[in-house]
Amino acid sequence: MPKPKFRGANFLKRKLPNIHPRDRIDEWKIFKGDTVQIVAGPRDVGKQGKVVEVVHKLNSVVVEDCRLGIKHIKPNPLYPKGGRIQKEMPIPVHQVQVVDPTIGQPTETELHWVYNPIKKRREQQRLSLATLTMIPVPEPESPFKKLAEGPLDTAPSLVSQITWTPDIARCPFPAPFMNELERMARKNREAQAL
């Protein structure tokens, strides 16, 4: 009788609950960078923290220093011996509420589009139902802000300088380049005519 093959550790791993696409939230009122308070759930109720990540597939958010769980890690460059670390676990979005900055308490919110005259465009903002004040959506962090300036980076003073102004009377490209483009177009037309 042949031995059954071991099918691998992937079958032993606990799967995250699947949220059907029709049950996923369309309009999110919580964004990365918001301060939220946990209002329900098995633990950390009443604790406030900053949203580190929004997990759309699970209708969940990851809050800084809340709902910590233990994760087992294989040896890697960051953890040469491997081991166990504490990591923030996703919290269902209906268990958290945005903290109103004026009163410092959690509140229900409604989404509204508001025109910003400084940026000259419409922005999404939330209306706090507790104080009827607008809570702005936090600006996304730029991944380039953390990088140090290198020798190949252009200085901001040079970027702001105007070095070229368009002119309708003059062609923006040199004459030999335009002649070559015209010659290539003529050859293409002749080849298609045959």
Residues 6+ apart with CB under 8 A from 150: none
pLDDT in tens, 117-170: 988 889 888 999 999 999 988 888 888 888 888 888 888 888 888 888 888 888
Any domain includes 138: no
Task: Specify the number of domains making up the chain.
Answer: 1
Which domain, by its residues, includes 78?
9-100
pLDDT in tens, 59-110: 999 999 999 999 999 999 988 998 999 999 999 999 999 999 999 999 999 9
Residues 6+ apart with CB under 8 A from 171: 178
Q: How far is CA 144 from the centre of its chain?
A: 14
Any domain includes 143: no
State the CATH number of the domain containing residue 25: 2.30.30.30
Q: Nearest to residue 41, comparing CAs of 96, 101, 88?
A: 96
Any domain includes 163: no
